[in-house]
Structure 1
């Protein structure tokens, strides 16, 4: 089971290294184009949650993050044994939650830097980071897991 924790550790390290590099090399608001106009590195800070909601609510985020981390670890050990998709999704969630929490503790805000324009609908997606990406992928995997487990359960009942 420890091998799955390596996923969370990898996410945290990659997240923190990329954020450190952004803070060291770019001023807030500075942008480096990677693929015009679809992808750029844009140094941004977020004192809130997703899409800048709940700015400056450190204690609320602290309480929620600690509860989420405890819940993830509990489910990982009690419910996810022998279920690799569930285990990986939980470890991505754990790594993402801890990665952004480290920022809140040490910087008072989260460092975001990936700026994406979705061309089909011409939508400038909210700026994000590695931890956010891990959280999103973890949630998608969790949804897929739940849907497939639900289908398995329905097949067994028939």
Structure 2
């Protein structure tokens, strides 16, 4: 049961931060945090990662929903296995992040991104993401590293 809590907590925390950003951060406003190393801003992404396919938001939403369904089926089979603790934790982080972003796509028509790293390279400083994205990347890495041969 703890693994489902990881997914729910990841999604809830990301959605809560997104709502805070929507309510309290103006578009174009950059709020420095963590000694100026992190930036809080409000950016909308209608495409996939890095705005890929942004001109096709309906396709991205349908693909995200399909992949979310596949993810749920895979999670259900994984949760029935004994052990696999790191893989399960990783998959639940991935699932929580994915469903937070899927919620945004279906309810808002776009994903709210809000975190950036301050860098001397402008291109890097412009990259904006959310906690769901971090959960997806971290979860995928944990799951991949834990798969037994």
With normalisation by structure 2, the TM-score equals 0.85
Whether the 8 Å CA contact 1:7–1:92 is kept in 2: the answer is yes
| Correspondence for 2:94 | 93
Residues matched between the structures, number:
144
TM-fit CA distance, 1:59: 1.9
| Correspondence for 2:144 | 143
| Correspondence for 1:126 | 127
| Correspondence for 2:78 | 75
1:39-97, Cα deviation, whole Å (9 max, x unpaired): 100110101111111221222222222222322333332x4x21210110111111111
Structure 2: any 5+ residue segments left out of the alignment?
none
Distance 1:141 1:127, change over 3 A: same
Distance 1:68 1:118, change over 3 A: farther
Whether the 8 Å CA contact 1:28–1:45 is kept in 2: the answer is no
Cα RMSD of the aligned pairs, angstroms, is: 2.1
Structure 1: any 5+ residue segments left out of the alignment?
151-158
Question: Which one has the largest radius of gyration?
Answer: 1
Distance 1:66 1:38, change over 3 A: same
| Correspondence for 1:10 | 9
Whether the 8 Å CA contact 1:69–1:97 is kept in 2: the answer is no
| Correspondence for 1:46 | 45
